Structure 1
Amino acid sequence: MSFMRQCKLGDVLKFGNGKVRPSSEGAIPIYGGNGILGYGGAKNYDGETIVVGRVGAYCGASYYENRPIWVSDNALSAKAKNGYSAKYLYYLLRNTDLNQHAEGSSHPLVTQTLLNVVDAEVVSDPDEQKVIASVLTSLDDKIDLLYRQNKTLESMSETLFRQWFVEDAQEGWDERPLSGIANFLNGLACQKYPPANDLEKLPVLKIRELSSGISETADWATSHVKPGYIVEAGDVIFAWSASLMVKVWDGEKCVLNQHLFKVTSNQFPKWFYLRWCKHHLAEFIAVAASHATTMGHIKRGDLDTAMVLVPPPPVLETMSKQMQPLLDKQIAIARQRKTLEKLRDTLLPKLMSGEVRVAC
């Protein structure tokens, strides 16, 4: 395609090294190999700068900034050369799996020398580059806004919960174990439930997917499992082994794998058992860390010893009138965010390859 140009990354970007993080305190972001790792009082780059993780499992990950920053020695900088849009090139790098070019298996590493010779294909017209970047930036901005809205809603929910059950808890409220207010269904050993064909199958929800979402590398299982093991958006999932976390699932329909609990209750509202699971999470993480095993975990007995305050039904109903709308809105926003992320991830490679073009 004549409007596309074959080149090397070094033809369009000037890479630079980071430096040891400054000791001074301040508000300037300090970038490491996996994003912002802190803040300091000095800068070594300003203006439009792309940061590329240099070392570790996330080497090759790219970040864009247009303000003073410090790039540490675990990252590289990249500046757009004349005639190229920095934001467009940032999306070009996001669409390029730089991690696959890393050297070393136990300690992956990307270098300036390596990145300079990576093959690339870029849109020749600077104006079209800017329009492409604008389309993708608009989606990213909306996704970020939704993320921040959900963080605010989460903070509001946490504040109300602490006020009711920690600061102003009433004497005489019923005390029960966490295991007494909800059902904790452990997932399946999904390797024992392989799909029989490509039509009757679902992706497997493991700890990795709970953290990062379903990807092309996800395992698959048959869809013919008991309904309880099917996970839908809005379900509460508790990872009880390795990386302990409690999340409201916001992804696609999938099958629950072992090491994850699906948390439900026929007696109490979702917000109630979700917040109590989150309330005890730090305690559970400490318990898991104390186990002398290669993979920390909690046991069902830990759910029995984690205590919950249960207010009288009229009080709980009043609380639900405030809490349930917050949770419902969080779930709705999460779904909207997932939709936009899917749209962005679909458009990104098509815009970068020229398969889809935008009018200038």
Structure 2
Amino acid sequence: MSEVSLLDLVNLTTGKLNSNAAVSDGKYPFFTCSVETYAINSFSFDTEALLLAGNNAEGNFSLKYYNGKFDAYQRTYVLTLEDEKTTTYKYIFYSLKTRLAELKNNSAGSATRFLTLSILKDIKIQLPPLPEQKAIADVLSALDDKIDLLQRQNETLEKMAETLFRQWFIEEAKEDWEELPLSAIATFTNGLACQKFPPKNGEIGLPVLKIKELTSGITVSSDRATAEVKSECIVHHGDVIFAWSASLMVKIWSGETCVLNQHLFNVQSEQFPKWFYYEWCKYYLREFIAIANSHATTMGHIKRNDLDEAMVNIPSEFELLEMNKIMIPNLNRIILNLKQIQTLQSLRDILLPKLMSGEVRVKLD
């Protein structure tokens, strides 16, 4: 197995645009240093490529693969292969995936971490024979393709639920329906100041769910807390979590059992089905974000009385039961898909370093 410098395998350039060039409904992907891929109505590239963030405040450099028309931010590296007879895009992509921690550790800068050409030049790529490279990439790509399929299925299910919800409760809401505050249809349990609840002697404890974990998942660097806290602050897969401070969001938690940190609500109800309060929380999210942004503080947030002022239409018991026939199976499928995605991601993340190091070999035809 040979070892070659990354910059001997790829041509390296960058985008030319500012990050504010993104538009909401653009035709083409616009790659910046963010984990999120934005959109734009123009393109400067029409090729297969890897996109590597050139800077990040915390040194978490996003890496993506794309094939087609796109544009890129001026601090985003665009990597194209020097010789496709030597390696493949997907193999280099997965090889770099195993080096992101190394890139973080070696990155320069203080307030913002960034990658220099010398840092990238020092990255060495192990190259087994080309057929083995392709086989490794095929195994990992198959897992990623399944993950992508489930994620797109969930996007479709979410949009279907939102469309039905808007039709039922906004566009065709009945005048005789009761109105209740959002705070009355569910319990919004705030999390703990988890630094005050460390694992006890001899206890492994549970990971702490903060806004970062809600966005990116539990990692080895996540804080841990004792499991001996009130049950409402223990979060399980499928729970509805509402981030009410800083980055406001409403999400179905997909991950291991954990302890809820402050600035997050665990939303539950004994009276109404999960889909009902989940959709109402999502419906008011844009308004809540506007309220948070209007606060002249360093960290925008909403207050309990904002939940009290958000009014919810309550259908009759019979109507709600009829709605449940569609919405409960729909949400159950979303939650099941999230569990499958989590399982596949874990399998991929276990296999990735083992395949790249040669510890696990792929059987060739």
TM-score bucket of the superposed structures, by smaller chain: over 0.9
Question: What does residue 80 of structure 2 align with?
Answer: 79
TM-score, structure 1 as length reference: 0.93
Tell me if structure 2 keeps the 8 A contact 1:204–1:218: yes
- Equivalent in the alignment of 1:235: 239
**Structure 2 partner of 1:283:** 287
Q: What does residue range 309-320 of structure 1 map to in structure 2 within 5 Å? A: 309-320=313-324
**Which of 295, 299, 324 is the aligned partner of 1:295?**
299
Q: Alignment partner for residue 341 of structure 2, among 334, 337, 341?
A: 337
Task: State whether structure 2 residue 209 is matched by structure 1 residue 208.
Answer: no
| 1:208-228 Cα shifts (integer Å, max 9, x gaps) | 111111111110011111222
Matched, 1:267 2:268: no
Judge which range, 165-174 or 26-35, deviates more.
26-35
Q: Which runs of 5+ in 2 are unaligned?
A: none
1:89 paired with 2:92, answer yes
Q: Does the aligned pair in 1 maintain the 2:22–2:38 contact within 8 Å?
A: no
User: CA distance change for structure 1 residues 42 and 210 in 2, over 3 Å: closer, same or farther?
Assistant: closer
Matches for 1:1-360 after TM superposition, within 5 Å:
4-20=1-17, 27-34=27-34, 36-46=37-47, 48-57=48-57, 60-82=61-83, 83-97=86-100, 98-118=103-123, 120-197=124-201, 199-360=203-364
Confirm or deny: 8 A CA contact 1:123 1:354 kept in the other structure. no
Q: Is the 8 A contact 2:22 2:39 kept in 1?
A: no
Deviation at 1:67, TM superposition (A): 1.9
Whole-Å separation in 1 of the counterparts to 2:73 and 2:303? 41
Over the aligned positions, Cα root-mean-square deviation in angstroms equals 2.0
Output the CA distance in 2 between the equivalents of 1:322 and 1:89.
44
Task: Quote the Cα distance in structure 1 between the aligned partners of 2:60 and 2:117.
Answer: 12
Q: Separation in 2 of the partners of 1:206 and 1:351?
A: 32
Equivalent residue letter for 2:11 = K
Contact 2:30 2:37 in 1 (8 A): yes
Q: Using a 3 Å threshold, how does the CA distance of structure 1 residues 266 and 36 change in structure 2: closer, same or farther? A: closer
Residues 208, 261 of structure 2: 8 Å contact kept: yes
* Deviation at residue 322 of structure 1 after TM alignment: 1.1
Cα distance in 2 for residues equivalent to 1:267 and 1:42: 51
- How far 1:292 moved relative to its partner? 1.3
- Spell out, residue by residue over 1:310-357, the C-alpha distance to the aligned partner (whole angstroms, 9 max, x if none): 111111111111111111110001111111111111111111111111
Q: Is the 8 A contact 2:56 2:114 kept in 1?
A: yes
- Residue identity over aligned pairs, in percent, reads 49
Q: Please, which runs of 5 or more residues in structure 1 have no aligned partner?
A: none
